[in-house]
Structure 1
Amino acid sequence: MTSALPTRRFGGFLFDMDGTILSSIASAERAWTDWATRQGLDVDAFLPTIHGVQSVETIRRLNLPGIDPVAEAHALTEAEMLDVDDVVPIGGAAEFLAALPADRWAIVTSAPRRLAEVRLKAAGLPLPGVFVTAEDAERSKPAPDGFLLGAKRLGIAPEDCLAFEDAPAGIAAAEAAGMTVVVITETHGHAMDTAHATVTDYRDLAVEWDGASLKLDHRI
């Protein structure tokens, strides 16, 4: 852990999805590997760029000639929806989410809603009451739009929200929204250089609810 868990109380918790409460890395990388190979890209160099960002933005910034980013992103989503056998929850995520009041947490993901719902079901995780997906935010991560919208829908000021993230784009988005951040590292292959508190997963985390606010702590 690079720093201690935040000691203050929060009005609500906001979670990224992929890499933060579930792992779909194997599924996503299989689909993207096939796509990148067809485009003649250097797969090893390309794959690290796909995480935490909307598919259409990943494709758009490549500026590939003759490629329609929207159509290609749609085709990739369809492929990923058919490949969820090894989508699994991050350690302790199901129990941690179950301990939260339903109106005090949200998911903010760069994934399209249909894909997000399929992955949550595959991982055995609940659909949140507040669900911000790729279709909802005007700008994708690292812009703060999704996190700001999630806070608005929860009815909680952004500065009173704790965001759980795993990827640089998502961390930057939460920072830009003015939120405190905890970084989940279960899917990381190497240490991340960050000033935020980092934890491997949720198995050693507990949440205290006093009827008005939430506090994150270590499980006793």
Structure 2
Amino acid sequence: MSTVIIKAKAILFDMDGTLVNTVACVETYWRGMAAKYNVDAEKLLHNVHGHPTYDVLCKWFPESMHTREHAEKAERDLMNDAEGVFAVPGVPELLSKLDPKKWTIVTAATQALALTRLQQVNLPIPETLVSAKDAHAGKPNPDCYQMGAKRLGVVPKDTVVFEDAINGVKAGCAAGATVVGVLTSTTEDKLRQSGAQHIVSDFSNVRVEDKGDYVEITIG
């Protein structure tokens, strides 16, 4: 793989599947829900990564489940299951080199779930964090990434977004960011079709250097 160098004023990270690998945990939970409510598990699993829990319940489950209370219960159940949850390789080293004012997390999870996941794998908590309650619409709407950039005092076109899900990639692209797809939950073809300009398997071959006015990101 050839080396790619990207300059950005800030970095915006998705969380689930990007910084923290929760794929096994999330899929185990939703397989159980699919069996309980007679939902096609394979179709469901193709549509949960990068989607708010409430939206998943509204699209795939009976109307009685379409409440914030059910969404909060689902997230509590997920939050209490740390089996198979781990930091994506290279993430701890990468975040340790970044100025806290030059990165944040933009996630479809609730703030409580996001903080729990970061603590479970011993990752730093950013000074600002965009969670499910903050944006008017979930990914692929660009609101969340636009908000993440604004909170860091930059415009989206000066940011790099790292994302593992199709909706997240689309949101980052729609916001005007440079998007790097992470191969934890989605194939390379689908990430590229969604708009990802670059692809990494994890962060083992991603390096960052603070240049003052900008961050230099080297891939490869």
Residue 52 of structure 2 aligns with which residue? 54
Instruction: Give, in angstroms, the shift of residue 97 of structure 1.
Output: 0.8
Distance 1:81 1:71 in 2: 15
| More divergent stretch after superposition (132-141 vs 55-64) | 55-64
Amino acid at match of 2:41: V
Matched, 1:201 2:202: yes
Residue 162 of structure 1 aligns with which residue? 160
Distance 1:78 1:138 in 2: 22
Unmatched tracts of structure 2, length 5 or more:
none
Instruction: Give, in angstroms, the shift of residue 49 of structure 1.
Output: 0.8
- The 1:204/1:162 distance shift into structure 2, 3 A limit, reads same
Percent identity between matched residues is 33
Amino acid at match of 2:85: V
Matched, 1:211 2:212: yes
Secondary structure of 1:106's counterpart equals: strand
Provide runs of 4+ in structure 1 moved above 4 Å: none
> CA deviation digits over 1:27-70, x for unaligned, max 9?
11222122222211111221121000101111212363433242
> CA deviation digits over 1:110-140, x for unaligned, max 9?
0011111111111121111121000111111
Amino acid at match of 2:117: R
Unmatched tracts of structure 1, length 5 or more:
none
| More divergent stretch after superposition (94-103 vs 27-36) | 27-36
Q: Please, what TM-score do these two structures have when normalized by structure 1?
A: 0.92
Contact in 2 for aligned 1:107/1:150 (Cα 8 Å): yes
| More divergent stretch after superposition (109-118 vs 25-34) | 25-34
Contact in 1 for aligned 2:37/2:61 (Cα 8 Å): no
Distance 1:8 1:30 in 2: 36
Q: Please, what TM-score do these two structures have when normalized by structure 2?
A: 0.92
Instruction: Give, in angstroms, the shift of residue 72 of structure 1.
Output: 2.2
Where do residues 29-48 of structure 1 align in structure 2 (5 Å cutoff)? 29-48=27-46
Secondary structure of 2:147's counterpart equals: helix
- The 1:184/1:26 distance shift into structure 2, 3 A limit, reads same
Q: Which one has the bigger helix percentage?
A: 2
Where do residues 139-150 of structure 1 align in structure 2 (5 Å cutoff)? 139-150=137-148
> CA deviation digits over 1:168-219, x for unaligned, max 9?
000000011110101111x246433405210111111111211110111146
Secondary structure of 2:45's counterpart equals: helix
Distance 2:66 2:105 in 1: 29
Residue 182 of structure 1 aligns with which residue? 180
Distance 2:134 2:10 in 1: 20
Secondary structure of 2:65's counterpart equals: coil
Q: Indicate the RMSD between aligned Cα atoms, in angstroms.
A: 1.8
Residue 13 of structure 2 aligns with which residue? 15
